[in-house]
Amino acid sequence: MSKRGDRVVPPSSPGEWQLRFAETAAAVGWEALCQQAPGPTRTAYDILLLRPHSLANPGRQHRLRGELGSRRIGGRALEQWQLEVTGAGRVWYAIDRAARRVWVTRATAGHPSETD
């Protein structure tokens, strides 16, 4: 539920994916990315809206490997991907293809140690 002072988020347009936060920590991390790198974070937002499973730039956007490559949300196992926002900033997200929904599972301005 949004509260006073929150940013207004537009509804999805036809052809776009619906974006949701999977947990509060992801929302907090997203806000930190917005403050630190607004331009690149906006670009990341647009990528997630239009092409969350693109393989066009595998160095910056790809499915995570091993145990990190899957995330359970709502009792279902979904593919989990990573998008490089800045040199260190990352967004992890799970793709629900059936619902055309992207769940942001983690957003961080620093490089996640799990992928080292």
Q: Which of 5-14, 20-29, 37-46, 98-107 has the lowest mean pLDDT?
A: 5-14
Euclidean distance between CA atoms 82 and 59, whole angstroms: 10
| Span 59-76, average pLDDT | 96
- 40: closest CA among 19, 61, 64, 21? 61
Q: 18-109: which CATH number, 3.30.2310.20, 3.40.50.300, 3.50.50.100, 3.40.50.620?
A: 3.30.2310.20
C-alpha separations of 58 from 13, 52, 55, 70, 109 in Å: 26, 12, 5, 18, 20
Q: Determine the pLDDT at residue 12.
A: 85
> Closest Cα partner for 20 from 86, 99, 79?
99
For the chain, the domains span 18-109
Amino acid 6: pLDDT: 79
Predicted model pTM: 0.91
**Contact indicator for 60, 84 with CB cutoff of 8 Å:** yes
